[in-house]
Structures are given as structure tokens and as C-alpha cells.
Amino acid sequence: MGDLTYLKPTSTFQGFQPMTTVTVPLLFEYWSVQETDNMPRWFVVHERDQSTAVIENTDTEVMHDFVLPYTSTMKTPTDNNIPMTAASRFSVNMKTVQMVDAKTRIIPAPYKTIVDNGAKPFDINGVSLVNPQLLGVLSNGALDLLSKLGVSSNGNHKVSFSIGTLPVEFADMDESYSMEVTTQGTKITGADTAGLFNGFMSFIGLLDVKNNGKMTLTEMTVHDKPRFGYRGHQVDTARNFRSKEAIMKTIDAMALWKLNVMHLALTNDEGWRLEIPGLEELTSVGSRRCFDPNEDTCILPQLGSGPDPVEGLFYTREEFIDILKYAHARNVKIIPEFNMPAHARAAVISMEARAKNGDVTYRLTDPDDKTDLLTVQFYDRTSIINPCLDSSVRFVEKLVGEVKLMYDDAGIPLDSYHFGGDEAKNILLGNGYASYAAELKQKPFSKSPACEAKGWNTDDSVAHYWAITVNKILATHGIREMIAWHDGLRGTSANEYQTPTVAINFWDTLFWGGIDSLTEIDQAMDIILASPDYLYFDFPYEVNPEERGYYWGARFNSVYKVFTYAPENLAQNAETSTDRDGNEMNLVTPAVSMPVIRGIQGQTWSETIRTDDQYFEMAFPRALAVAERAWHRASWEMDWSQGVMYNMSTNHVPKDDLADDYKSYASVLGCREVIKLRKLGIAYRIPPPGGSIDSFGMLSANSELPCTIIMYSTDQGSTWSYYSSPVYIGAGQVAYLKSMSADGTLQSRVVLVDEECHDCMDEGVSYSTDGSNSNIESVIDNGLSNQNSQSDSVGGGSEDPVVASASGCSFDALPLLIVPNCITGQGSATINRRLGSLAADFPEASVRLCFTDKTLELTFEAKEETSYLVNDTFANNDPLWMWTVMEAFIALGDNDPTEYLEFEVAPNNRIWTGYIHNPMKDFSSKATAFIDDWNTYPIISTTTTNPAAKLWKSVVSLPLSMFNVEKPEGTVWRMNFFRTYYADENSEQEFGAWNPNKLISFHQTPCFGKVHFDGGVTNDVVVPSAVGSHGCTQDTLPHLNVPHCRYGHGTATINRRLGTLATNFPEATVRVCFTENTIELIFEAHKEISFVVNNTHVNNDPLWMWTVMEAFIAVGEHDPTQYLEFEIAPSNRIWTGFIHNPTKDFSSKGTAFIDAWETYPMTYFTVMDIPSQTWKSNVSLPLSMFNVEKPEGTVWRMNFFRTYYAVDENSEQEYGAWNPNKQISFHQTPCFGKVLFVERAGETGSAEANNEFGGDTSSDLWGLMRKDGDSALVSIWLSPFTVMSMTFFVVAAMV
């Protein structure tokens, strides 16, 4: 019955023996290539008392728990779809995704956007609305969206509304608007209230809301109108229920991206989801699924629901009215669908339960009907309402009347009613069922006495007959429009119906002749496109067995594929995509006039979607691509051109325009819009990364969503590191990758990287890492909000350059390096772009940087580098003198300037600086001029080398005047790291950077990049000189992302120098994660030699010195007066207690220090390694110290310092933290920072559900399913007891 199948013992069954395995072969009629073909919650039924028990390891939403990995993704021998491995995904991302500057791009794209050459960027801290009353009820929705996105409605930027005259091309179009954005404010003029609302949504679309504070806009003008009046999103709440909260979050997202119709599918075979007064059984029976063979109290389990009922899976009348009002306030229209005559089993069974209790008033099936039939979902005739019963008509009259009253009570007209109408047939009458007995091939209701009495001709379409009946009822209630799935009205005309309009959802696939059948529809019917092969969100995102979804119409519907959908010339799609088997389509635009399209709609059917989060993951971000196509017609979309053929070999579509449009779209989507989805509470899909490992052992990774955080593991997931750029892991090694949302709360599944991307050097493909998270070091280590920066990971051009001058980026695609003030941390970039014939052992380098009021502070660092100065004295007859050089070019100009300010730093503390002019820009000669400019631009540099550790580091201080700080976007730079060779110290370089045709060892950042001084540069910004200067306000607090320990650690560097700092005092680090009960910290200090200088006081040293790690934790403001403090010293001493300091200057020990050891017991262990000058403390804190319910309410700061005692342990500290006027050695984190728990303690979110390494492998697993081609094996691992008689009810999707 439906998707419920069973295995039943025969009379010869002898029972299962303990600790044995039974293998049951299964043969599928078609194919199975997705894990989600298997439904969860298999259960056992005891034949004597009908009691049930779910097989434990199938009671899960993680298919890996009981489904073994698929070995093949091929459905048939002609299936040419490319399976998505890490390497093939990497290739696809390389070809389609590139981070570009899209700060003025809006999703969906407006009809016309004007940005003048002199347009100014400017910052705002929120908005204030002028004339919001013109929005009417929509103002409530607008303000609510602002609040949810964290945008102040009491800000400094005025947004004013007016109803007025628009440009002539928009004048008479509903929902159109114009918007002018200036430094003085934004003016939105609308054709109507919906136009004003859409204009405001476009304004919000420009905002980057990740920081909950300052946002940057650019002066611009927008003239906009919708492409289609119907921009829809369908939600199937019947197969599996969606909560009221999920529906409201969806409505929020629809409003934000201008989708204006929610098609709410409330009924189907598997469930009825709306309370109807007077028809209580529809929800008391029809909304419940349980194992009741008679179906008196529920309908049978389906789609992985299991045998036990779940209550409340429907909307009460009051909840539905709330949803209607909520949508109305956000410019969203709710169209209810009550599917009939087919797909109505929940209604039929519910009314049968009512009939069993003696009331046949609304009975929907003829008890004397003997017709045998099989529906598409494998139900019998109880899936279709019998159209010949008067009680069936009464049922619809009652239903329509009650639903109309709900709309009336909400104060909203019920204009459109969706009657369903699809798949009302016996599938055995179609092709492909020749082996079935003739007596099973019966027309629906051909043996129904009720239909015989009516004289109904069963040759007629059941759906057509019922559509006429329902339409009359709708017209009687004043409902103006009936909508149906197009096969329900196939062959009919609009003049057969009484409602003023009739519309159809067109859902034929293109490869099954969809274009031709589209032209056969009565043109008096409005057409809403719902093409499954592009617009079904219950299909997988990519060809991979671990993806969720059905695939009867397409093996995948990626975001890119949805974006490329051309609704007004369907044949065009054959040039940008293949059919469901990955094969080329040949589609011809029919030789008729173009049908009039009212709109398009994305569909989220829910057979495999059982939870709200699964729904969000499948619908978003694909719904935004539908919004883009429904609102905006792109320049690359072709006109309807009769007789023109399209396929993958034709070249009608302007591919370059399409590529540029998608790069812009993806950049905004990944770096700006998904942040809004998270703020709306939507758990959108995090795509798994692409990855490639080359023959040298370099791991590269990317994402289809720019700005997505990527993590990698080289130990099978035991530990994770943040990926920012290609990293060396070793030849022959494998790695694991996963992605995270910017806030760390969502994760992709884990993927294995074990091969190189073999087509990534094809024409048009570069080995850059577009879409990855190059600036993640500064995000994680310092809490900086740099998730939107692609830094050195962006660009790279169309091929891997072989000379140093190949910048590989256009000005519009320049990466952005965000440089914070040194008070708040450091930005970072990796120098890793390989040039020329790179020596295989040449490592990448990194640079960390920040600015003060006068200088730019850089720290270059190279690890695993052994060259340094191979022959500094020329004493060993080596003809080449080799050293390693850090080099930077800084220019005020275009993206590949000919004039640079250059400086070079070498490990022997040599430094050069000067202007360089190279008209060839190819570095093939030393240049025409090198003007030394040491006096103008004095540079301070300190370089240290550690040959044993293969490490060298240069700390460089540059005058800030080298940069265009008034307009920092006018500054570009590039950094290099290379080995260079000299025949002797005085000769010209024989090999190296100046002669790239010789063998060189060279890394650089991808191309010249823009510099952004985060927070701006002012003369009054100074590095604080006292401990009490916290240096941050509440709005600028850095975040420390704290992940669950199963996913790795967040890190922070304790490096802010305070007071007169001892020059040899090192920085320290802390790594932090959380478990269900604790916060785990690892403090670590390197190059620290103090420890405990005189613990015994035996050497007459008047000062007793040791090093201390200290942390303050508070629930409150950014610089609180009350802290919970703990201190750790390397002697395994620890203190904890509350401290109150009203002056907040640390100049005294404070007015109170209340020991709180018993309240907050801490576990710690400290080790010191004096030879390596390292000490480390592992600390475990109670999670109760943090405000875990509202983690953003917790702030903390960490210190690392030396402290001194004058006489003994009991005396007051004479020098140190409490007396900053004395010489001290003190580091701390920049200021109090917010704590963000990446995954909430005690919860299991999508991150855990997708963790490949966290599965349960206990020995009491009941069943594991293994797929192999068209067959499958069910292996049953038995618990240590004997079951003598059982029936297995196995839920599996039939595909």
C-alpha cells in the first residue's frame, strides 16, 4: 500500500537464531541510486497482539546508520550523469563560481540599475522610515523583517516612501517602483503599496547585515518592475508536515526576495493538514499515521513515519488564519490546495472512519465498488474520490464553505483555489505494464454501482468530470479562479468552467516533450510553469547517492541549473543543461506564437523531507534562484524563435553574459544573502566542498557558495583545521572536507578528497580557490567579521600564469584584503599562488597585518623553508648564492599598475625599498628605474630565522602614508615570496624573479588586491598603553567562535601589547571548544623562559617571577565591572573567584575578590617544557559559567603576563598586572569579546546529522541495507534472543 511494504514469514519459518545474520535479497522493478530511496523506521509487528517495535538503527534521519554506501550512481547503461566526487565538484565550481565585486547587485536583479562613475560609498547604522503609513498593512511586515535582520529602525539613514509617477515603461505596471539611494537618504516611489514594499525589499537587499551595525551603501538609482505577476513557492505539508513556524519563516524569505504566492498543498494521500469544523475526522484520523490495519484511528504509516502516531500534525483553524494574516502583511498570497479527485486517500479514509460510526453524509468511496486499479503512488481505489456520489459533492461544498469562512475571518479575499486534479488514473492502463493481468487493467470506477446509476461514461477523464463539479461550487461561493495541475485539465478549455479565470501548473518535463504539450494548452488558461527538471526542489542538488530526494524528472537541480532556467523560451534550456540521464537534448522552439506565461513556481514536495530543517535545506537557497528568474529577465535569455533548435552543441545563448551574471549572483548569495536566511532562522543547504590533491600533495578546495567556511582534516575527522588556501598535506595522502555557514551553526556532509581534478586546467578554468574562505584565519583567530572577504583566494584568471607579472584578475574581480586596527586583531593572507616551474619543496608563506594611527604592521612568516642563505660567505665554492625573500608591491592605481612602491625583506635583516617602474609589466628585466626612497618611506624590519624549526619570520612596520588612507579602495598590492640566486653578491641575478623562464621558486598572492582599512583611519586611534583601556565598544566586539569539540577548536591569539612591554615577551594562544557540560581551553605560550624563576627563594633574588594565564568572563556589557576570574600558573596553581573593580583600571586589586571554587570547579593540568621554552595549560570550565541560552550575552577577555612578588608568596604584588605604571610584560586579547557557540550545547543540529565520523556502530543494530545495481540485500543482525514469528513492515520509496 503506497510506500509501505512488508516481509512476512511463511508457514515453514523456524525462527531466527541468536547472533546470526539473515540476508534477504530484494529485486527492484526499476532502479535505486539514492540513499533516500530507503525510508527510515522499519518496524516489526507481533502477529498475536499486533504490537510493534521499530528496528533501532533505522529510527534515524541519518541514512548512513542503516544504509550501506552505494557503489554505483548509474540507473541504466545510458546514464551519463557525472557523479559528484570532491574532484568533479571542484571542477564544476572552478568553471561556474568566481567571487566578484557585487556590492550594488540586488537579488532578484532589478530591471535597471544606474551607478554613476562618481558614486560614493557611505556607511549607515540603521534606517528611519518616512511616511511608512503609505505601505498600509505591509509596514508591519517590513518592520518585522528589519528587526529579524538586526537592522535598527531608529538609524541615521532616512528611507522615504511616496506613491507617484514612474518612468513611462513602468507607469501602469503593478508592483513597480523607483529607488534613489544617496548619502542624504533613500527615496522609494511606488506604483502602489506593493511597489513600495518591493522597493524597500530591494533596499534591504543591498545591506550586508552580518555585523548587526554599520552597513555600507553606494549611491545608485533603480527602476524596477516584475517580470511575472505570479512568483510562486509551493510547500507540500501533506506528505510530511511543516510546522506553522516553518511556514512563517518561509513567508519571511519569500517577501525578502519578492516571491508573492505561496501554494500551500494541504492534502494528499499521506495526510490532511487543516482543521475543518464539522469534519473532525479529517484531522483526528487523516493527520495521524500509525499501525492500525483497519485505519479506524489513523492512516497506515508512510514515508518513514514509523508505527507510532504523532499528534498535532495539522493547522488549527486559528493557526491557518494567523498564517493568512502573516502572509498578507508581507505581500504574499496564500493559495490553498485540496488535491482531488486523486491523491485523496487521507480524506477518503477519514470519511470512511466517520461512516463506520454511522454518518455517511460525506462518504467519498462507494463501498460496493469492485474496481481494481493502481495509482502512481501504488494505492488502490481508496486514493481517488468517487465522483459519482452525492456525498462527495456535499463534502466539497462543506470544505469550500469552511475554507472561505477562514479567509473572511482573516479579512482576506479567497480569490484562487487549487483543486489539484493530477494523476487520477489507473497506471496499469499505460505503457510499461504488459506483464500485468488483463483483469487488473480497469478504468477508474468502471465497477462502481454509484457510477452505473449515474450513467457516467467511464471513458471520460475522472479529473475533468470532477473539475467541472468543483468549479461550479467555487463559482457559487464567489471564488474567481480555479487552479489545477495541467494534466487534470488536459484537453479541456476555459469556457467549460464557470469561474472567471482558470489557471494551470504546467509540470511536463522538457525531455518528455514538454514544449509541445505546452503549446496544446488552451491559451485562455493562464500558465504557471512548474517544470520538474528545473523547479522541483525535492530533487537532489547534485548527482551523489548521499543527496536527498527523488529523481524521476532530473538527477539533480543545482542552484546554477535553476538560475539558468529560461521560462519564456523553454527550448533554450537544452543548450545549458542535459536530460535526466545526462544526455543531450535536441529541443526546437515550436512554430507557433509564444504562450503567455503568468509566472513560475518552485515546488518542494515532501516524500523524502520529514523535518523542517530538511525542508529548509532542500528549498533554500534554490528558492532565491526562482525569485531571480521570476522577477528579472536576464540579458542572456533568448526570445521565442520559431523553428530554432537548441542543444549542447549550438551557440545561441551568450555564454559569457550568463557566466558573468551567475558570478555576480553567486557572490551576493554566498557572501550577503545567506546571512539573512540564517537571521530568519532558515537552515539553508551548506554545499559540500569541492577538493583536489595534486601529485605534490597540495590540497585545494572550493565551494559553490563564495564566503562559505571550509574545513579540512587529515586524520579522518579526528581534528579539523580551517582552510583558507591550498595547503600541503603530503604526496599520496587523502583529506576530508566539510563546509560551515559563516555563523558556524550549519555544516555540510563530510567528503573524501583522494584524487586530483583532472580537467581543471582546461581552457577557461583556473587553479584558484574561488568561493573558499581565505580570510578565515582572521575570522577565527581574532573574532573579526571578515567572512565576506575572499582576499587571496579570488581571481586567478583563465589559466595558470607562468610569469610573475600575470595578475590574473580584472579590476572588478580584485580580491579584498581587510586590514583591521591593531586594537581589534589582525587580518591575514596566504602567499600561495604557484608560478613558473615551482620547486616541489617550496612552501607557501603567510602575512598577518593590522594598522595603527601611523603605521601598517606586518608579520611575514614562512614555515618548512630551509634555504635562507645557503652560502653567505661563498666559502664552499657554490657558484650560486641563494636566499629567500619576502617582497611586496604597493600602488595607487589600477589593477595591474606599472609603477609600484616596492620593498623586500631577506632573512639576514637586509631590506630594500624604492619606486620601481616596469613598462613591460612582465618582470623580464630588472626595470627601467629603481629609485631608492628609504628616506621618504623608512621601514623598520626585524627578521629571525630558526633553521632547526625550518621557520623564518619578519616583523615589518611601514609608514601608513604609503597607502591611500583617505580612499583606501584606491590602493592595490601584491605580495611575493621567492628564492633568488646570485652568481656573486655584486652581480645581476642569474635566476629568480627577474628571469621567469629559468627554474624559479615563487609564490605570490593571486593578483593585485584591494585594501580596506576596517573601521577607517583616524588620527585619534592609538594603541592603549594601560591595561584598563579596553579599546572596543559594544558594537565592535569581536566574536570568538566556539565549536563543539567533535568539530575542532576555535582559536584566539593573546597578542595585544600593553604598557612598557618587555621586548622578548611572546604572545600566547588559546584554543577553545565546548561539550555538553564544559568549555575546554588549551592555553599555550611559546618562547617563554620565565615560568617560575625563583620558586624557593634560595638564590637571593628579591623578586619571585612567574607567568600567568588569566581570563575574565562576564554576562553583561562590553566592559563590565563584575567578572568571574580564573588564573593559571605553570606550577599547577589555579585561582577562581568573582572580582569587582569599580574603577575598571586595574590600578588596585579591587574591592572584592570572592572565591568561587565550589560554585565553579575547574579541572586543569599544566605542563612546562623548559628546553623548548613552552608551557601549556588544559582547562575544563563548567558550561554554566557561560550564558548558553543567549551566548551573545557572554563576554570575555584573556590575558597572559609575568608577575613579580617582592618577598614571598603572601605579599602583595609589587609589579605586574595590578600596577601598570611599573614595567610589565603583558599581553591580552584586544578587548572584551562576544562568545558564539557554533553549535548549541546539548543539541544535535544538521552538523551532527551530517558528520560521517560520528555514527553508531554498536552490535545491537537490527538491519543494514546494501545497494548494488538494481538489487539490494537486507542484512539483519539479531539481538541475543529468538523471534519465532514476526512481520517486517519495511518502508521504501518506489521509484
Q: Which three cell numbers stand for residue 177?
A: 517602483
What is the residue-wise DSSP string for 1226-1258?
EEE-SS-EEEEESS-TT---HHHHT-TT-----
CA nearest to 1031, candidates 1228, 1178, 867, 1187 = 1228
445: exposed, middle or buried (Cβ count in 10 Å: 0-12, 13-18, 19+): buried
**Catalytic residue at 568?**
no
What is the residue-wise DSSP string for 49-117?
T--EEE-GGGSSS-GGGTBPPPS---SSTT-------HHHHHHHHHHH------TT--SSPPSEEE--T
Q: Which three cell numbers stand for residue 714?
A: 587529515
CA nearest to 263, candidates 461, 441, 104, 481 = 481
**Phi and psi, residue 109, nearest 5°:** -65, 135
User: What sign has the CA pseudo-torsion 97, 103, 109, 113?
Assistant: negative
Q: Residue 130: enclosing H or E segment and its boundaries?
A: strand 127-130
Q: Which three cell numbers stand for residue 163?
A: 506613491
Which of the residues 175, 270, 337, 423 is marked catalytic?
423
User: What span, in angstroms and rounded, lies between the C-alpha atoms of 341 and 356?
Assistant: 22
Q: Which three cell numbers stand for residue 151?
A: 537592522
> DSSP secondary-structure letter at 672?
I
CA nearest to 528, candidates 618, 600, 613 = 600
**Residues with Cβ < 8 Å from 1196, sequence gap 6 or more?**
1040, 1111, 1112, 1113, 1114, 1232, 1233, 1235
Report the SS3 class of residue 534. helix
- In this structure, the number of other CB atoms found within 10 A of the CB of residue 1020 comes to 5
CA nearest to 339, candidates 144, 558, 156, 488 = 488
Q: Write the CA distances from 870 to 982, 998, 1027, 1135, integer angstroms.
A: 11, 19, 44, 50
**Residues with Cβ < 8 Å from 358, sequence gap 6 or more?**
none
Beta 698-702 vs 690-693: how paired, if at all?
antiparallel
> DSSP secondary-structure letter at 614?
H
Report the SS3 class of residue 831. strand
Q: How many CA atoms lie within 13 A of 365 on its CB side?
A: 25
Preceding amide of 1024 cis, omega within 30: no
> DSSP secondary-structure letter at 718?
S
**If you compute the radius of gyration of the chain from its CA atoms, what whole number of angstroms results?**
34
- In this structure, the number of other CB atoms found within 10 A of the CB of residue 799 comes to 15
Catalytic residue set: 423
